[in-house]
Structure 1
Amino acid sequence: MLKYIISKTRLPETSVKNTVDLLNQDATIPFISRYRKEATGNLDEVQIGDIVKYKEEFEALEKRKKAILKALEEQGVLTDALQVKVKACTDLTTLEDLYLPFKKSRKTKAETARKNGLEPLAKIIMSQNANDVESIAFKYVKGDVKTVDDALEGARHIIAEWINERTDIRNNLRNQLERYAMISTKVVKTKKEDENAQKFRDYFEWEEALSRIPSHRLLAILRAEKEGFIRVKIEIDKIKALENIDRRIIKSENACADQIELAISDAYKRLLFPSLSNEALQKAKEKADESAISVFAKNLKQLLLGSPLGEKRVLAIDPGFRSGCKIVCLDAQGVLLHNENIYPHPPKSDSIGAIKKLSTLTEAYNIEAIAIGNGTASRETEALVKKIKFKNDIQVFVVSEAGASIYSASKIARDEFPNYDVTVRGSVSIGRRLQDPLAELVKIDAKSIGVGQYQHDVDQSKLQKELDVVVENCVNSVGVNINTASTSLLSYVSGIGPKLAENIFNYRNEHGVFTSRNAIKKVPRLGGKAFEQGAAFLRIREAKNPLDDSAVHPESYNIVEKMAKDLKVTLNDLISNQELLKKIDLKNYCTDTVGLLTLEDIIKELEKPGLDIREEAKVFTFNQNIKTITDLVAGQLLPGIVNNITNFGCFVDVGIKESGLIHVSNLSESFVKDVNEHVHLHQQVIVKVLEVDVPRKRIQLKLHK
């Protein structure tokens, strides 16, 4: 296993070995990367994630090897040489090629020919020594084999199967597909005018090298094919491919060679090309999936680590026209205090009543900020709110509603607010997203947030796995207040999981807030391992021991206490005291298990304990004169917010229903390798309008610097 992982990651052997040992002890990625740096050689979360990936890949390969060896043994065909080959395989493709001749498949033409006694004839032909093949074939005309042509055809079916099973031929054709395959599309004529097909019209007739097609384009083409709008074809130079096979098999110029040439053509058309072209397309799809999943993961990380307003009292508005605007008032911890509706927009147009109500509520509940959802009637509601002269200084934010409707109808929302309908729950979610995006967004299935490209077309299990890792890493990098966190947030803490999260939540409700990290051990079924993995990521505000509200692991408390003792000060005196911390000689505190890497992390944490790595939330204002796509004109400079990032560019909300696209070519004057190096989600930017296509509702933008 170690050799396999090292060959894939190029990481040092000691780092890989120690990381694998920790993973086998059920340690989590956040715990290992943060608190076991000496063991791993300071590997980060991404490197440890790669070790996890290739460890699982190796284990899957070994499992498949065992299954194949068992099947071969049961068939009585497992030789020592074959066993050595199987065990030496380092990838699934080679392994499956080895197993191919022994697979118990459905009834094939070759199997039928064997039952008709034609395998000896096939061997004679393959020997390429006979000249009068028809005379030899005549001897096999009996039973279901009625003619010489039947006999020769049956023999060719057997030869075609042998050709199909040759690893060298399969690998040669794979290489040609990998290097030269073209993917082309044709529109299904009966669907050409279909309204739903129009979004794919760029691909009604398309051709491109399969090796160079961008992930987003391949996924779009495959979706269009799945929906029945186009047909997709993979092609290579057939003549060249057949010549390559001919050279490997045909060694004579007699009648046998003629039969083998026919068999080669049959093998290529019926067996090799359909199988391997599908394999090539599947590999291209897997590569596209990886790219799309990577984009989604980067976007999700940026979204989860979005700027929190913090513990401020918030009035949240879910805007609407006919149904009105749902208002909720939340305290600094996100607890619902009040809810009601206002109707400032048509058809009721009671803006005066709405203004009075908002003024009254902001005063009654000491509101410090207003959060407005960015859906229908958002701009109109924002304009209304900004007209109001509040007595206090109240900040107004427009908040993304993506996924809020999913949350409001979920079991989590029903359990939180059993006595309120979906509109109230949705409004609460909008307000809480402003207070703490991470704490609120973890309650929603990440796939529903909509910050990726073609997320419904990629491998869903791989996507879910990757997104779970992202959420876990984000939650643990920020830390969690155990006394206010929801079960959803707690479940992503290192070593905790859904069941223990529920136990913590129930214990807190029954016994009151936790006053120390040690008290966490009293939670039912939370054993030593879970405490080791999770304690440092769980924070206790205003605890007796100040380290309980820091990222210092309880296993290192004695080190910090010794530092304070050596300096003849208390823990409280030491924490946040730059002068004292600079006096500490870390070499005096190194042990067999704790080195300078861990000690340096401890000092950083003591300098600013519990520091939130996220930026503060900032107020943003759209151009108030732009209300619909028809208000846009080429050349305009507009403020906007990046609301999605893909491999081909990023989308920007400029305050209207349709988001505009900044294509990669318009992000920078120089080559753009990674969009994320130029913009990030929720970044406030200035864009220049390049082109507006009103019928197709498309807006082309350029990043203005």
Structure 2
Amino acid sequence: MQLIPFLSKHTQLPQKSIENTVELLNEDCTVPFISRYRKERTGNLDEVQIGAIVQFKAQFEALEKRKTAVIKAIEEQNALTDELRLKIEQTDELVTLEDLYLPFKKKRKTKAETARKNGLEPLAKIIMAQNHNDIESAALQYTNNEVADADEALEGARHIISEWINERISVRNQVRNQLERSALIVTKVISTKKDEEKAQKFRDYFDWSEALKRCPSHRLLAILRAENEGFIRVKIEIDSDEMLRRIEDRIIKSNNSCTPQIQLAIADAYKRLLFPSLSNEILKNAKEKADDDAIKVFSKNLKQLLLGAPLGEKRILAIDPGFRTGCKIVCLSAQGELEHNETIYPHPPQNKSSEAIKKISSLCDAYKIEAIAIGNGTASRETEHLVKRIHFKNPMEVFIVSEAGASIYSASKIARDEFPNYDVTVRGAISIGRRLADPLAELVKIDPKSIGVGQYQHDVDQGKLQTSLDSVVESCVNSVGVNINTASVPLLSYVSGIGPKLAENIVAYRNENGAFKSRTDIKKVARLGGKAFEQGAAFLRIKDAKNPLDDSAVHPESYTIVQKIAKDQGIPVTELIGNSKALKSVDLQAYCTETIGLPTLKDIVEELEKPGLDRREKAKVFTFDQNIKTISDLREGQLLPGIVNNITNFGCFVDIGIKESGLIHVSNLSDTFVKDVNAHVSLHEQIIVKVLQVDVPRKRIQLKLHK
């Protein structure tokens, strides 16, 4: 199997597009660069399609690596035939490859191996020939010092036959297919654990059974977590009698004295070898599918979170609220630099609200604050009420900002390097303020798994999760673009072609030499060669540069085209930018070359109309219902404003301004069938919900989306 046919089969994309994309990937081009600046070569493939090629290319390479190892292992046993080699080389499925390798895989000491050493393999072959009418008499010929009688001889022969049946690919596929069609996942509670407090969240699965293929990803992951934590036992079940009949129909071809022996061998092979192995395989596959579903949910959520609405360059006062330890206040410049910090104690037990009001008011005047950011953790609502009592000299917008992951950032090396002279509480408040200004720039400093937007992120394959989330962050950073003169090392490290080490070198150069004046200056950074410049330059923005194109998504390799268009229009480049009338009159066909076609030219014109446009919406002030302060204030039928703070496959969670988030189950998102939760709500969307049910003891709130 060759790479291109493999990719064509799995992606269903045009062969030429695949070939060119693979060439670009082999040249160390990144997905954002390829999708944006090499459209002519890829046939205008988008990031998702290119990402699929990357995924299946890695899968193919792993399969080929495994094939090489399998062939080598069989060769070492002097058992590799030309026919077997061909089968191995032609397979494009890992399962088939492992089935082919199974007879040659080194095993622990088995019953079949013992039987072979005792000379019973010829007897097993006689039985499988199925043409002997007195197999018991034949078995007596195989007794010896290790085999006492005919019964022992027949038992040993059956062990060999069981192994043959287990290794027969047609039988394995038969059992595998039946498991895929009709396997049940069945759970039983461990009686000594069922009354434990931690077990109660899994009580729905104390005695549960359903078709495995219909078990949704979130439920399967919950069941497997309950098993891992020791509260339930999980097993896979199918109709074993029916399965045995099917295997017998495949293997038994006559009715004589060999038949009962083969039936016993089939039953043994199924119970001891086939079913344990393949039921584990089917559960593993279901877990992998559930992982993939959960990772997709997490990735969608993360993308929405990273592309959340920024307030922009505003002077912000940020508050990390608290009761006993007080509220940490920081004042940030429009560029996010710390200008002041202190602590106020407006809430119990100190109750110094008057002092706090005066302090906030004076700080807002002193530092010309334009907006206030309040973390949504403990004492958030109380702090919001306090702030809204203040009569500011100028209009003041007050925002509630998610604290998810802020504590992780504040204790991280990144935070210590940024603010070595301040403790974690000050760093946490700074992060809250910066999140309001630019969620993307701040959240890239935190491990995405710590942000908490998804389902069962700690239960899924961590390697797959990290790969997917890194791709999401990279995509978001490059779709927005990065100001090279203000960006942090973590933000720069996600820029196409840059990475952590070059990001450090960029910041070091900036600290030593001052702000970059042009994109060509980027080439002066240590170890930033031509390839990195090609991949990353267009995603790096330089404000107030001499060449206005340096603050746009136009790639430097296309500057000459822009200059030619401007010249042909009889105006300088500065007057071409933003000039919709002039740009719409351009005949793009006249500027096509062998390497640059209409897709790229259309992108250039679109960028010139609104250079450096941030496609994210602007942050909007949101106000919760001021009468709802705890779960006890909720009543069925109430309509309340809320903010979507997490999305899963089974619904979404909504912050309604109290400690507990409410759940809009997927069935309550619409009066019609909901296939994709994201089609109805998005992360951080401001919505109106109806309270359906309140369970105060279990702290559960059921909501419905109100249209």
Which residue number corresponds to residue 282 of structure 1? 284
Overall identity of the aligned pairs, in %: 75
What is the rounded CA distance, in whole Å, between the counterparts of 1:114 and 1:626 in structure 2? 76
Task: Look up the equivalent residue of 1:201 and give its one-letter code.
Answer: R
| Cα deviation, residue 669, structure 1 | 1.1
Q: What CA deviation, in whole Å up to 9, does each residue of 1:183-213 have, x standing for no partner?
A: 1111111111010000001111111100111
Which residue number corresponds to residue 680 of structure 1? 682
Task: Look up the equivalent residue of 1:633 and give its one-letter code.
Answer: R
What is the rounded CA distance, in whole Å, between the counterparts of 2:149 and 2:76 in structure 1? 37
Matches within 5 A, 1:79-118: 79-118=81-120
Task: Look up the equivalent residue of 2:683 and give its one-letter code.
Answer: L
What is the rounded CA distance, in whole Å, between the counterparts of 2:129 and 2:672 in structure 1? 61
| Cα deviation, residue 145, structure 1 | 1.8
| Cα deviation, residue 582, structure 1 | 1.6
What is the rounded CA distance, in whole Å, between the counterparts of 1:629 and 1:205 in structure 2? 31
Task: Look up the equivalent residue of 2:545 and give its one-letter code.
Answer: A
Q: Secondary structure at the residue paired with 1:211?
A: helix
| Cα deviation, residue 147, structure 1 | 2.8
Among candidates 485, 488, 494, match of residue 486 of structure 1 = 488
Among candidates 190, 193, 201, match of residue 191 of structure 1 = 193
Q: Does 1:159 align with 2:152?
A: no
Task: Look up the equivalent residue of 1:356 and give its one-letter code.
Answer: K
Which residue number corresponds to residue 73 of structure 2? 71
| Cα deviation, residue 131, structure 1 | 2.0
Larger deviation: 241-250 or 128-137?
A: 128-137
Which residue number corresponds to residue 555 of structure 2? 553
Q: What CA deviation, in whole Å up to 9, does each residue of 1:326-362 have, x standing for no partner?
A: 0001001110111100000000000000001001100
Task: Look up the equivalent residue of 2:323 and give its one-letter code.
Answer: F
Q: What CA deviation, in whole Å up to 9, does each residue of 1:620-655 have, x standing for no partner?
A: 000011111111110000000000000111000000
Larger deviation: 112-121 or 601-610?
A: 112-121
Matches within 5 A, 1:468-483: 468-483=470-485
Q: What CA deviation, in whole Å up to 9, does each residue of 1:58-97 have, x standing for no partner?
A: 1111111111111111110010100110011010000000
Larger deviation: 47-56 or 144-153?
A: 144-153
Which residue number corresponds to residue 524 of structure 1? 526
Which residue number corresponds to residue 598 of structure 2? 596
Task: Look up the equivalent residue of 1:351 and give its one-letter code.
Answer: S
Which residue number corresponds to residue 213 of structure 2? 211
How many pairs are equivalent? 705
Which residue number corresponds to residue 515 of structure 2? 513
| Cα deviation, residue 106, structure 1 | 1.1
| Cα deviation, residue 605, structure 1 | 0.3
| Cα deviation, residue 317, structure 1 | 0.3
Among candidates 230, 233, 245, match of residue 231 of structure 1 = 233
| Cα deviation, residue 253, structure 1 | 1.6
Q: Does 1:58 align with 2:50?
A: no
Larger deviation: 39-48 or 342-351?
A: 39-48
| Cα deviation, residue 254, structure 1 | 1.5
Which residue number corresponds to residue 3 of structure 1? 5
Q: What CA deviation, in whole Å up to 9, does each residue of 1:407-455 have, x standing for no partner?
A: 0000000110111100001000000000000000000000000000000
| Cα deviation, residue 678, structure 1 | 0.6
What is the rounded CA distance, in whole Å, between the counterparts of 1:506 and 1:138 in structure 2? 85
Task: Look up the equivalent residue of 1:217 and give its one-letter code.
Answer: R
What is the rounded CA distance, in whole Å, between the counterparts of 1:209 and 1:329 in structure 2? 56
| Cα deviation, residue 124, structure 1 | 1.1
Which residue number corresponds to residue 26 of structure 1? 28
Which residue number corresponds to residue 268 of structure 2? 266
What is the rounded CA distance, in whole Å, between the counterparts of 1:626 and 1:424 in structure 2? 29
Q: Secondary structure at the residue paired with 1:190?
A: coil
Which residue number corresponds to residue 445 of structure 2? 443
Task: Look up the equivalent residue of 1:324 and give its one-letter code.
Answer: G
Q: Secondary structure at the residue paired with 2:595?
A: coil
What is the rounded CA distance, in whole Å, between the counterparts of 2:319 and 2:633 in structure 1? 26
| Cα deviation, residue 578, structure 1 | 1.2
Runs of 5+ consecutive residues of structure 1 not aligned to the other structure: none
Which residue number corresponds to residue 124 of structure 2? 122
Task: Look up the equivalent residue of 2:106 and give its one-letter code.
Answer: K
What is the rounded CA distance, in whole Å, between the counterparts of 1:91 and 1:529 in structure 2? 36
Q: What CA deviation, in whole Å up to 9, does each residue of 1:250-301 have, x standing for no partner?
A: 1122221101100000000000000000000011111101100000000000
Q: What CA deviation, in whole Å up to 9, does each residue of 1:224-267 have, x standing for no partner?
A: 01111111110111011001110111112222110110000000
Structure 1 stretches of 4+ with a deviation exceeding 4 A read none
| Cα deviation, residue 139, structure 1 | 2.0
What is the rounded CA distance, in whole Å, between the counterparts of 1:354 and 1:316 in structure 2? 14
Which residue number corresponds to residue 665 of structure 1? 667
What is the rounded CA distance, in whole Å, between the counterparts of 2:366 and 2:80 in structure 1? 82
Q: Does 1:133 align with 2:108?
A: no
Q: Secondary structure at the residue paired with 1:183?
A: strand
Alpha-carbon RMSD across the aligned residues, in angstroms, is 0.7
Q: Secondary structure at the residue paired with 2:223?
A: helix
Task: Look up the equivalent residue of 1:451 and give its one-letter code.
Answer: V
Which residue number corresponds to residue 371 of structure 2? 369
Among candidates 424, 430, 433, match of residue 431 of structure 1 = 433
Q: What CA deviation, in whole Å up to 9, does each residue of 1:583-640 have, x standing for no partner?
A: 2111111101100110000000000000001000000000011111111110000000
Q: Does 1:607 align with 2:606?
A: no
What is the rounded CA distance, in whole Å, between the counterparts of 1:452 and 1:579 in structure 2? 46
| Cα deviation, residue 130, structure 1 | 1.7
Matches within 5 A, 1:41-52: 41-52=43-54
Runs of 5+ consecutive residues of structure 2 not aligned to the other structure: none
| Cα deviation, residue 144, structure 1 | 2.2
| Cα deviation, residue 562, structure 1 | 0.6
What is the rounded CA distance, in whole Å, between the counterparts of 1:525 and 1:505 in structure 2? 13
Which residue number corresponds to residue 642 of structure 2? 640
Q: Secondary structure at the residue paired with 2:18?
A: helix
Q: Secondary structure at the residue paired with 2:161?
A: helix
Q: Secondary structure at the residue paired with 1:189?
A: coil
Q: Secondary structure at the residue paired with 1:453?
A: coil
Among candidates 631, 634, 641, match of residue 633 of structure 2 = 631
Task: Output the TM-score relative to the length of structure 1.
Answer: 0.99
Q: Secondary structure at the residue paired with 1:371?
A: strand
